[in-house]
Structure 1
Amino acid sequence: MKEKYKKNRKALLFLILSVCLISGLVSIRNQYISYPIADGFLNLSKENLEEKAVQLNGVWKFYEGTLDGTGSQTADSLEVPGSWRGKVINGKKLGKHGIGVYELRVKVPSPGDYCMKLNYVSSAYQLYINDKKIVENGTIGADKATEIPSWNPQFVYFHADQNDLVIKIKVSNFHCNNGGIVLPVYIGKQVPLFRFHLFNLMKNIGFIGILAGMACYLYVFNWCLNKKAQSICLWIFCISVLVVASIIDGESLVSIFPFLTIDTVLKAEYVSFMVQITSIQFFLWSMYPELGKTHPFRFLKMLDLIYTAILICLPAMPVLYDDIVFIPILFVNALCYFLKIAKAFKLKKANAGPVFLGYCVYIVSCVLQIVDIQHNIDVKFLNDFNFYYFGVLFFLLSQGYVLAVNVEDTFRQSELAHEMEIASLQAQISPHFLFNILHNIYCLMDTNVNMAKNMLMCLSDFLRVKYRFDYRTYTLYQLKEELDLVNAYVELENVRMNGALKLEIDAPDELLSNDILPLTIQPLVENSIKHGYKSGELNILIRVMAAGDRLVISVEDDGRGISPETLETIDKSNIPKSSTSKNGVGISNINYRLNICFQSRLFIESLGLKGTKISFEIPKRG
């Protein structure tokens, strides 16, 4: 069991690492070419654009503060992709809101049909090629009142009459906190660019599909475990990440629901981020409740709930989504959670290691993703690496691993408790039987010493048979041993009853090796003698029969039987109960052990003055 337990944990760890690495390393780099653009010019005259798309990353010319034209403005440069917020253009530090024109000259191999792909340009833009308007996304304006924002991704086709292209993107931003061309722009022929677009879309959908699958798994997991707090918190986290992922990739949510306004999308994005934070918070508190009772954590919980409620209830005001407000909330939460998990790890709390590792990877990945969006990380093996996807999956799978380990530990503990309970029940019935025999011997000591001596000898033989089995080590033994025990017991009773008992056992030899719970048949025989004997002889028949994959065992006597009223009372008390049942250690004990071990129970048939038959079924294992 221990080795199997370790192998299961290793398998889970291997699965976590594999899925996370695949999610991050599945690269779209081999689907496009990237050239360093300098001073707003890119020469593609010798490039075969029939095979791959071209990523237009690099330094574009930028004309700040204008939308109508660029002739009267002094051009500066701006990195694409990236926000213009905080950048210095012509000695002026730009804010988050404003207008401007991006310009890039491209020399293509030949005139013909080309495509461009633009994902996310905030908040509205117009695309011109050689001073011809190709597409408009939203409505650009000089202020918030005249601008109509839109985040719809664009896949546009155009015809180039000459080799030299002048690409101008007029941008206005009065609705978002980061203005400009935030995600990469691509150009190329229709087939390779569409193939690249499809590959990228499939990658995003694949990640969202993994999240949806994990959400379903966690929901079922939570339902099966009767609403465990940890699994429902991870399920909520998973759903909120799914919403965020469908927004930040620039294609999924807005493509599926083009009618969504920017205000709605912004609200959904930031609320989803706060739901992620809150679900992590409650997950940690459910894991380590004793570490979350301090006042700072309670204050943080209230702060998060108030801010989330404000985001949901109030209109989409820019101040609510500003980095000055949002980033400090994220930082305080991240720091507090880190300190809490670190404390749990230091105190060697259960599963604190995987929780701590998963959380650290998640936080670092989120930070790297923000840096990548702002500054475009271009490092070997990390270009196009989706840090956020990697971090989220690593966190979810590592916490899922913790849940699985908890379930496995709980299962092992329940198995141990089950075995201990069975042993306790079997140990419980032994003193009950032994007390009856010793009481009989005690009573005979004054009236019939020889009979008392014979009973002691029979008791010695009986105990020799009985204690070949140790209930502290094993739960089951063979049917043959139980029947030997019954034989020894009847001989013991016959000494006291002057041979009035006639025992017959009908059990085929091939069935005697089947497993049975100790002291299952013997107490039934004891009941037949104790409650069924009238006078003269008492015949007892024990029959063992095979019925498919089950064994049917019955104990039948021709004693005084049971009245209908008494039988009804016994039937009501014959429902399997715990070992603390007030019905004693006889019938209820056997019935309970049969139920928890074999999902079986005793069936009693009796007619007054015509005998009693008690039967039960167990699995056929021999």
Structure 2
Amino acid sequence: MQSLGDERINSKKTTARLLIMILFIILIFYICLIMNKKIEYSTTAKNGYIDLSNNNLNNFITEIDGEWKFYPMDNTNEEPINIMVPGRWNENNKVARKMGRYGYGTYKLQIKVPKSGYYGLDLRYIPSAYEVYINGRFIASNGVLGKNLKTETASWRYQTLTFYTETVDVNIEIKISNYHNNKGGIISSILLGQTNNIQNNVHEGIIKSAIIIGVFAGLGLYLILLYHSDLKKFNFLHVGLFCLSSMLLESISDVNILNYLWSDIPFNLITKLQYFAFVTGLFSLQFFIRSIYREQTCKKCWRIISTVNALFLLAVIIFPIRIFVYDDSIYMTILILNLINIMYTLIKAIRRRKKHSIKLTFGFIFMVLTISIDILSANKIYLAYVSAGNYNLGLLFFAICGIYVLSEDIIEAFISSNQAKDMEIAFLQAQIAPHFFFNTLNNIYCIMGESVPTARNLILDFCNFLRVKHKFDYRENVFYTLKEELDLIRSYFRLESAAYGDAIQLAIKVPEEFEGIMIPQLILQPIVENAIKHARIHNNITIEIQAIKIKDKLQLMVSDNGVGMREEILAKLLDKDCKSGIGLKNINDRLIKCYQTRLNIKSTVNVGTKVFFEIPIIKEVK
């Protein structure tokens, strides 16, 4: 038979495994969405021209990347410069000599499509403002173009544009100004395809981001609530903050769901939120690893990196965004320092065979790989069979590993506390035995002087009592059936009747269907003993035991028609400082530890006393 504690432990394990399984199912579903993208990569632009006449744009969309024509400072009188898209214009030496990191210019690309008709463009982030013209006709704008910081209005908004072309030749012109970002230009791929395919691709991106955001938000809030509960473990807070910062990053990047929810969000605010989430994620990651492997953490390195993170976070909050936005030398250095320090700690933990070190290292390496792929892709280093833009997969995978580690720790802590609780309950039950044995042996001793045969029968009853009483080992089982407790009480009552005769009567009103319910050992007998000892002074008394089902619980009650108790005595009866009523306090303590319920006592002077409590209905497992 499993104890109540074992059932709770198994329940905890099942819940943890179910949570991990659900998260992995979501992860697999997310990967399937990524693999289902219908994007062609075969054709690239050269010298401002791309031929898509042979591309299957009915079923696929394509990236119109490659060499675009670029006119710095809108100087159309000079020869255009071939510039790579995606890319930043100040990475091009010719452009950098003409206008540096800040300025404005026009991108142009001529496209040959398979047929005339409706097409769509998917424009991601283009800093800082732009206008789009197709075949000389204005289509859309984002922000307000300007020729300096004051006249430009920056905007961080993704757009999908629909246009109609009467010919197969399409001329795209994008005018861009950038005075809010350290590096300007078309820094993300532009997608072209049939309108419905572009819309479907955007919707899939929204679904993908919504799934990731929902998972991160749910996990983050759940872990923070766990921290604020009785657990008070900081590693729950650290992983929770990591999940919430990852959620914020995902809501800003990719399809920018935050912009869908708040279309007029200021550029400065959304930019600072992105960097705030970046630094907060690094902070929480550092603190989480340190909280688990404090001895393996290099304290000096940890202090230095934490200081650097704090200073960068302060700079993000205080200084203008132009100082740090997309400055690779700053955030890349901070990112690498944090990752190296964490990897160093994990390697030391593995070498010393610390708990969970391999699981966390595996999750961390996967996260670093996905981040590295995105960084390489941003620097135009592409890996075969590997797509970029999936760093959130790595973040989610590491979060799952962290949650798995935390769930294992919870289960282990629960097992330890349950074992300690069982030992304490066994100790409380063991306190009952000497108290009862002394009283019973004293009664038999007194009767032996009057009637040896009666004493002999009482000894046999006492042996039967002990046979039931010591059927179990307290260290292994602290529960038995209600029927066994009632048999114990009947044997005990016969022992007491030898001393009191007909002055005490016992009535047991327990339906047979309840006799198989599991209860703590000696949970009723001390109440009966207490009633015989204190309720009967001169008059005869009747003690009644009842069992009543109330919803999903069983109420057990021992009542008597004895002398009762005054309210002041009743109020102090279960106090720790009260020296009387040891048996009742013992029962109350065990009820609290086993079921988080308490003993209830109602008494009226010269009327009687009722002692009752409720326990969950748990049947015996044979």
**Structure 1: which 5+ residue stretches go unaligned?**
none
Aligned: 1:412 with 2:425: no
Letter in 2 for 1:593: R
Q: For residue 311 of structure 1, what is the aligned residue in structure 2?
A: 316
> Deviation of residue 581 (structure 1)?
7.8
> Deviation of residue 332 (structure 1)?
1.4
Q: Distance in 1 between matches of 2:408 and 2:116?
A: 62
Q: Which of these residues, 14, 22, 26, is aligned with residue 19 of structure 1?
A: 26
Q: For residue 63 of structure 2, what is the aligned residue in structure 1?
A: 55
Aligned-partner SS, 1:527: helix
Q: Distance in 2 between matches of 1:176 and 1:114?
A: 30
Aligned: 1:268 with 2:270: no
Letter in 2 for 1:337: I
Q: Distance in 1 between matches of 2:614 and 2:163?
A: 80
> Deviation of residue 113 (structure 1)?
4.6
Judged with a 3 Å threshold, the aligned counterparts in structure 2 of structure 1 residues 532 and 7 are, in CA distance, closer, same or farther, namely: closer
> Deviation of residue 312 (structure 1)?
1.0
Letter in 2 for 1:570: L
Aligned: 1:73 with 2:85: no
Aligned: 1:586 with 2:591: no
Judged with a 3 Å threshold, the aligned counterparts in structure 2 of structure 1 residues 473 and 290 are, in CA distance, closer, same or farther, namely: same
Q: Determine if contact 2:182/2:325 at 8 Å carries over to the other structure.
A: no
Q: Which of these residues, 362, 367, 391, is aligned with residue 357 of structure 1?
A: 362
Q: Where do 1:142-541 residues align within 5 Å? A: 144=149, 147-160=152-165, 162-225=167-230, 227-249=232-254, 251-291=256-296, 294-319=299-324, 322-375=327-380, 377=382, 379-380=384-385, 382-383=386-387, 386-438=389-441, 454=456, 459-493=462-496, 497=499, 499=501, 502-507=504-509, 510=512, 511-534=514-537, 538-541=540-543
Q: For residue 573 of structure 1, what is the aligned residue in structure 2?
A: 573
TM-score, normalising length: structure 2: 0.83
Q: Determine if contact 2:370/2:393 at 8 Å carries over to the other structure.
A: yes
Judged with a 3 Å threshold, the aligned counterparts in structure 2 of structure 1 residues 534 and 202 are, in CA distance, closer, same or farther, namely: closer
> Deviation of residue 297 (structure 1)?
1.7
Q: Distance in 2 between matches of 1:205 and 1:124?
A: 27
Q: Distance in 2 between matches of 1:620 and 1:394?
A: 41
Q: Determine if contact 1:546/1:552 at 8 Å carries over to the other structure.
A: yes
Q: Determine if contact 1:120/1:250 at 8 Å carries over to the other structure.
A: no
Q: Can you list the C-alpha shifts for 1:198-249, whole angstroms capped at 9, x where unaligned?
A: 3333333343333333344444444555554333333322332222222222
Judged with a 3 Å threshold, the aligned counterparts in structure 2 of structure 1 residues 106 and 588 are, in CA distance, closer, same or farther, namely: same
> Deviation of residue 8 (structure 1)?
6.0
Letter in 2 for 1:421: E
Q: For residue 599 of structure 2, what is the aligned residue in structure 1?
A: 601
Aligned-partner SS, 2:121: strand
Q: Can you list the C-alpha shifts for 1:297-350, whole angstroms capped at 9, x where unaligned?
A: 233323322321232123324257632222222221222222223333443444
Q: Can you list the C-alpha shifts for 1:500-557, whole angstroms capped at 9, x where unaligned?
A: 654434346725444333223322232233334445x754434334456665554455
Q: Can you list the C-alpha shifts for 1:565-601, whole angstroms capped at 9, x where unaligned?
A: xx532344337x7xx9865631111223234445352
> Deviation of residue 394 (structure 1)?
0.9
Judged with a 3 Å threshold, the aligned counterparts in structure 2 of structure 1 residues 203 and 614 are, in CA distance, closer, same or farther, namely: closer
> Deviation of residue 361 (structure 1)?
1.9
Q: Determine if contact 2:192/2:198 at 8 Å carries over to the other structure.
A: yes
> Deviation of residue 282 (structure 1)?
2.8
Q: Distance in 2 between matches of 1:509 and 1:247?
A: 64
Q: For residue 53 of structure 2, what is the aligned residue in structure 1?
A: 45
Q: Determine if contact 2:128/2:156 at 8 Å carries over to the other structure.
A: yes
> Deviation of residue 181 (structure 1)?
1.2
Letter in 1 for 2:26: V
Aligned-partner SS, 1:180: coil
Using the TM superposition, name which of 394-403 and 411-420 deviates more: 411-420
Letter in 1 for 2:249: V
Aligned-partner SS, 2:34: coil
Q: Determine if contact 1:428/1:585 at 8 Å carries over to the other structure.
A: no
Q: Determine if contact 2:528/2:543 at 8 Å carries over to the other structure.
A: no
> Deviation of residue 274 (structure 1)?
0.8
Q: Distance in 2 between matches of 1:125 and 1:552?
A: 74
Judged with a 3 Å threshold, the aligned counterparts in structure 2 of structure 1 residues 614 and 151 are, in CA distance, closer, same or farther, namely: closer
Letter in 2 for 1:37: T
Q: Determine if contact 1:25/1:386 at 8 Å carries over to the other structure.
A: no
Aligned-partner SS, 2:174: strand
Q: Distance in 1 between matches of 2:75 and 2:510?
A: 102
> Deviation of residue 429 (structure 1)?
1.0
**Structure 2: which 5+ residue stretches go unaligned?**
1-5
Letter in 2 for 1:407: I
- The percentage of counterpart residues that share the same residue type is 30
Q: Can you list the C-alpha shifts for 1:400-429, whole angstroms capped at 9, x where unaligned?
A: 222333333333334333433322221121
Q: Can you list the C-alpha shifts for 1:411-453, whole angstroms capped at 9, x where unaligned?
A: 33343334333222211211222234456678899x8896997
Judged with a 3 Å threshold, the aligned counterparts in structure 2 of structure 1 residues 616 and 323 are, in CA distance, closer, same or farther, namely: closer
Q: Distance in 2 between matches of 1:255 and 1:617?
A: 53
Q: Where do 1:550-561 residues align within 5 Å? A: 553-557=556-560, 561=563
Q: Distance in 2 between matches of 1:570 and 1:88?
A: 91
Judged with a 3 Å threshold, the aligned counterparts in structure 2 of structure 1 residues 324 and 562 are, in CA distance, closer, same or farther, namely: same
Aligned-partner SS, 1:543: strand
Judged with a 3 Å threshold, the aligned counterparts in structure 2 of structure 1 residues 450 and 356 are, in CA distance, closer, same or farther, namely: same
Q: Distance in 1 between matches of 2:50 and 2:164?
A: 19
CA RMSD of aligned residues (A): 3.8
Q: Distance in 2 between matches of 1:312 and 1:531?
A: 73
Letter in 1 for 2:573: S
Aligned-partner SS, 1:482: helix
Aligned-partner SS, 2:398: helix
Judged with a 3 Å threshold, the aligned counterparts in structure 2 of structure 1 residues 547 and 256 are, in CA distance, closer, same or farther, namely: closer
Judged with a 3 Å threshold, the aligned counterparts in structure 2 of structure 1 residues 500 and 264 are, in CA distance, closer, same or farther, namely: closer
Aligned-partner SS, 1:375: coil
Aligned-partner SS, 1:544: strand
Q: Determine if contact 2:122/2:192 at 8 Å carries over to the other structure.
A: yes
Judged with a 3 Å threshold, the aligned counterparts in structure 2 of structure 1 residues 213 and 562 are, in CA distance, closer, same or farther, namely: closer
Judged with a 3 Å threshold, the aligned counterparts in structure 2 of structure 1 residues 28 and 186 are, in CA distance, closer, same or farther, namely: farther
Q: Distance in 2 between matches of 1:109 and 1:618?
A: 76
Q: Determine if contact 2:146/2:152 at 8 Å carries over to the other structure.
A: yes
Q: Distance in 2 between matches of 1:112 and 1:94?
A: 38
